[in-house]
Structures are given as structure tokens and as C-alpha cells.
Structure 1
């Protein structure tokens, strides 16, 4: 899988990016994602993610992660991919400020929180959602199972 990182905050280390890349490749293999699948991950400030949240979700507040799936088709839309093209899964946008705050609030490492947020966004790109209680339970169980199997425990210890 190809993962393109953009850090608009200049706060994300090479080690953080490598950890996220390994986690998403691991999750992708578990979910049957083709090797040529592409994901973009952008790290932003709270202000930037609030602007995105306001524009696309009509919620004028910062959030921790937002994802935009490229493979979703609206009513009456035609697929924009074929077998000859790489599969563009979509974009994941993560607020570094929010990730640091939540890691502190939950008592675990920034690595665990970044992994959690990246995986959460990735599962959204694959079609998982949490609009209903049933969907939420399925998504969060899958998320926790992947994090545990990968070795990112809640307390941050691997």
C-alpha cells in the first residue's frame, strides 16, 4: 500500500509516520486491501481541521480525525476506477493538537493516539461507519482488535 504523508504542522516525527505506515499496511492486509491501494494522510492544526469540519460536515468545531473516501459512489454516480489504475482509497486528516490532548487525557502515548486516529480514518475509507449502534460496535471492535494484534495497547506499551 502506498501512503502519502503531508505534515502541515512540522510536528510529526519520522518514527510516527513509520509507525502509522506499518499499522495501516498491517490493517490493509487484514482487510484485503490491494497492494496498490493509496492513502493520503495530512497532519494539521485544530484551526485547519475546524475549517474543514465546518466546510464539509457543517460542524464549526475542531475534531480529531476526518476522512474522505474516494471509492464511495453517490446515487447515480459511476465508478471512477478500473483494474488498471491504483485504488485511491482517500484522504485522512488528523489534528496533531487534538491527538496530543487526547493522548494526555486518556493516559497513553502519542503513538497510540496517532495509530488509533489513523486506523479510525482508514476504516472509514474502507466503508466502516458508526452511524448506528450496531455499526459503531462493529467498527470499534475491529479497530481495537487490529490495534491489539499490531501491538499498540491502550496504555501505549507495545
Structure 2
């Protein structure tokens, strides 16, 4: 597994964001039974930068906590059975890893939301990475049922890492 991590935010955290992102990504892939070695890009940035991305890519003119840019199309979430047939160009030719996509996190929102929800910045960061990984595996939360399923899976992933509220 490869995590290509970039930090534009430049803040000191009480944990290693790069290391934590790797642990959460690995736990998410294990939870979703991904049969491939995978590659994920993670960018930690600020509200101004994520605001521009949210406006440009989603047409929503405000900052957000996390953006997910999946590279795969799934018939059903976490169904990797057709990846080699239908998504063959989604494998990095150098490493052979399945390229799942990009995660963009707002450091500003991580700080704001951790305080608002009364938990640690480590927990908020891990929660957002797990949430985004589920998007990279084909999950969404457009309906109440989908949202509950994502919430359940996010909590299971965090519990497997002993990251609780």
C-alpha cells in the first residue's frame, strides 16, 4: 500500500498526520476486503484552498471538511470483482497498485469540528480519512439508509484502531 501524502497546511499536530492517514487507509482497505495493494493520495490543506476545490469541482461555494476524488466506478460499493476487467488502467504501471483516488482534508475544519464535537483532532482527522476512504470504495450518503451504512462502517474502522470519541 502506498500513501502519497502532501501537507500544504503546515501546522504541528499532536500526532503524525501522515502516519495516521496510512493506518486509517490500511484499516479501511482491510475492512472493505480490498484484494489489491492500493495507492491513495492525501492532501492536507486549509479552508481557502479546499473552498476553491469545492467550488470548482462540485459547484459548492464554501469550504468543506473533506473532498474525495474516486478513480473507480463500482456497481456496488467495495465490489472489486470487476476491477481488472473494467478498470485495468487503474493500476499504477510502476508499482502495480490499484489507484483508488485522492483525499483532500481541511486542517482548519479538522480543528473547528474537533472542538465543536468535543473530541480530539486525532479522532476528527481519522474520521474524515475513513469517511473519504469509503467514498473511494464506492459508498455515498445521498439517502438516510446510505448515510447510516457509512456511519456504521466508519465507526467499525475507527474502533479497529481504538480511536474512539
Higher RCO (CA < 8 A, seq sep 6+): 2
Ranges in structure 2 where 5+ consecutive residues have no aligned partner:
75-85
Paired residue secondary structure (1:104): helix
Mapped partners of 1:24, 1:37: distance in 2: 9
Matches within 5 A, 1:86-105: 86-105=97-116
Matches within 5 A, 1:11-22: 11=11, 13=13, 15-22=16-23
Matched with 2:90 is 81
TM-score by length of 1: 0.87
Give how far 1:148 is off.
1.6
Paired residue secondary structure (1:3): strand
Matches within 5 A, 1:124-143: 124-143=135-154
TM-score by length of 2: 0.84
Matched, 1:50 2:51: yes
Mapped partners of 1:50, 1:8: distance in 2: 14
Mapped partners of 1:152, 1:140: distance in 2: 14
CA RMSD of aligned residues (A): 1.9
Paired residue secondary structure (2:43): strand
Count residues in correspondence. Answer: 150
Query: What are the superposed Cα offsets for residues 60-97 of structure 1, whole Å, 9 maximum, x if unpaired?
Result: 00000000001127xxxx63336974210000000000
